[in-house]
Amino acid sequence: MNEAPQSLRRHIAIFGRRNVGKSSLLNALTGQQVAIVSPEAGTTSDPVNRAMEILPLGPCLLIDTAGFDDVGSVGELRNERTHKVLDQTDMALLVLDQAKDLTLEKIWLDELRRLEIPTVIVLNKSDAIDSKNKTIALIHDELGQTPVVVSSLKGDGMEDLRKALVQVTADIEETSLTAGLAKAGDSVLLVMPQDPQAPKGRLILPQVQTIRDLLDKSCIISCCDVDTLEQSINAMKKPPSLIITDSQVFAQVYEKKPDKSLLTSFSVLMAASKGNIDVLIEGARAIDRLTPQSHVLIAEACTHAPMSEDIGREKIPRMLRKRYGETITFDIHAGKDYPADLKKYDLIIHCGACMFNRRLMLSRIIRAREQGVPITNYGLAIAHVQGILKKVSLP
Ligand SMILES: Nc1nc2c(ncn2[C@@H]2O[C@H](COP(=O)(O)OP(=O)(O)OP(=O)(O)O)[C@@H](O)[C@H]2O)c(=O)[nH]1
Ligand code: SF4
Ligand SMILES: [Mg+2]
């Protein structure tokens, strides 16, 4: 339980052709022989994950992949798996061991740049390269970036690689969940109804993460249910500066909240920390442009057994049917299998992605944007339909 959840680890994926030393690099970075290495091309057939701390980056998940130049029908399948890793990649290491033909590397680098994934180019096998400076210059000319030079075999250059990773991290820093909404000494009231959807005996991840974020900021935290909201506020010497609510009871909480208290929801905080909040708000407004013929994709990032009164499968469809009638249609996709072709949809309503890293949500947002389909999340959709979105405080 002391381990950082995967969603909070920086996902660093290692890409490159077969045999360039990707698995050796993972071993050299972790200081352990975790990935199988061999002179045979195609040794790694499926992505291999390894959790580790990289100081000062903190908890990371290194992902070793199969070489992206694999051939044949099985090779094609491996390439597809490697390509799928992009969806969860916060940072990439693009590994090469020569500079003669960089056509494939160029294609991959273009894809990484398109997905806005910060990338470090790594020239491996420095111990076996004769004209190092010439090779570095060629790579720079072809790919527009100077490689970090390492030898995974000898362990050389690992410190330079860590430094390069730290440098690119600045681009993808996840901000504090309550950034700009709460500061040290503020009193914050959390409205957390524990309905049948809530897991028995524990709190859900967005609530746990919010409490941790507020504790780190030295805020004064209180929790209540909607039924005890008024009592809780009355018991306070002054109104809380911020109320964070479960989005399903937005409207009730808004009715009862003191004028001076800011109001937001756990899902709004998640939307801001996991994705691009502006795009997701724009997506929520697209609800007004739906018609009785619209086709909506409900996307859940993980698979869980549907529950009665499930927010994605029941509450949101019911809410939109009430407005647009029974002919509006919904497709539900759960887990990592997110449809590649989104064009048939008029709107995507995504879950809060609490179990996943920021990159997964960002890559889904980029894909939706490229295909011209608006995307929002559960909490923002509910807030918009209830007419509360304008009144919600954004981090
Ligand atoms: N000389 C030298 N050889 C290396 C270095 N890094 C890896 N190798 C060798 O290169 C070969 C391939 O290494 P791997 O780490 O298996 O390469 P890979 O990219 O994971 O290969 P696939 O899994 O087949 O895609 C092995 O024989 C390694 O010993 C290095 O820094 N220097
Ligand atoms: S479906 Fe989405 S919001 Fe629900 S637990 Fe999974 S990742 Fe979190
Ligand atoms: Mg390998």
d(CA 325, CA 327): 6
The pLDDT value given to residue 71: 85
Query: What are the φ/ψ torsions at residue 313 (nearest 5 degrees)?
Result: -90, -25
Cα–Cα distances (Å) from 390 to 224, 324, 365, 395, in that order, read: 24, 22, 22, 14
Q: Is the CB of 27 under 6 A from ligand 1?
A: no
Task: List Cβ neighbours of 345 (8 Å cut-off, separation of 6 or more).
Answer: 295, 296, 297, 331, 373
179 DSSP 8-state letter:
T
Q: Indicate the fold that domain 6-172 takes in CATH.
A: Rossmann fold (3.40.50)
Q: Is the CB of 95 under 6 A from ligand 2?
A: no
User: Atom 7 of ligand 2 has which residue's CA nearest to it?
Assistant: 353
User: Are 153 and 124 a contacting pair, CB within 8 Å?
Assistant: no
Cα–Cα distances (Å) from 48 to 12, 138, 258, 346, 356, in that order, read: 12, 31, 51, 36, 17
Cβ neighbours of 17 (radius 10 Å)? 19
Task: List Cβ neighbours of 259 (8 Å cut-off, separation of 6 or more).
Answer: none
The pLDDT value given to residue 1: 41
Within the chain, residue ranges assigned H as helices are 22-30, 72-85, 103-114, 132-143, 158-169, 205-216, 229-234, 250-256, 266-274, 277-285, 316-324, 358-370, 378-385
Using the structure block, give the residue that is written with the tokens 């549907």.
306
Beta-bridge partners for 210: none
Residues with CB under 5 A from ligand 3 (ion): 22-23, 43-44
The pLDDT value given to residue 170: 61
The pLDDT value given to residue 144: 93
Q: Is the CB of 241 under 6 A from ligand 1?
A: no
> pLDDT tens-digit profile of 145-183?
999 999 999 999 998 998 888 888 765 665 688 988 999
d(CA 166, CA 389): 37
Using the structure block, give the residue that is written with the tokens 């309503």.
349
Each domain of the chain, given as residue ranges in start order, spans 6-172, 187-269, 276-391
Stated pTM of the model? 0.70
Q: Is the CB of 301 under 6 A from ligand 2?
A: yes
Of all atoms in ligand 1, which is nearest to the CA of residue 70?
25
Category of 318 on φ-ψ map: left (φ > 0), alpha (ψ -120 to 50) or beta: alpha
187-269 and 276-391 share one fold: yes
Mean pLDDT of the chain: 89
**Which of 17, 18, 24 is the pocket-test mutation for ligand 1 (most atoms within 8 Å of CB)?**
24
Residue 267 confidence class, pLDDT cut points 50, 70, 90: confident
Q: Indicate the fold that domain 187-269 takes in CATH.
A: Rossmann fold (3.40.50)
The pLDDT value given to residue 87: 87
The pLDDT value given to residue 375: 96
Listing DSSP states for 20-55 in one string gives SSHHHHHHHHHTS--S---SSTT---S-EEEEEEET
Q: Kindly calculate the radius of gyration of the chain based on its CA atoms and give it in whole angstroms.
A: 24
Flag whether pLDDT at 53 surpasses 70: yes
Q: Is the CB of 257 under 6 A from ligand 1?
A: no
- Closest of 38, 37, 17, 18 to residue 26, by C-alpha: 37
d(CA 85, CA 78): 11
Strand, coil or helix: 333: strand
Residue 303 confidence class, pLDDT cut points 50, 70, 90: confident
The pLDDT value given to residue 134: 93
> pLDDT tens-digit profile of 357-367?
787 888 888 88
Sheet holding 295-300, edge to edge: 329-334, 295-300, 347-350, 375-377
- Closest of 118, 144, 113 to residue 13, by C-alpha: 118
Average pLDDT of 298-315?
Answer: 79
Check whether domain 276-391 has CATH 3.40.50.11410, yes or no: yes
User: Atom 8 of ligand 1 has which residue's CA nearest to it?
Assistant: 21
The pLDDT value given to residue 309: 66
Percent of the chain with pLDDT over 70: 94
Using the structure block, give the residue that is written with the tokens 């009144």.
391
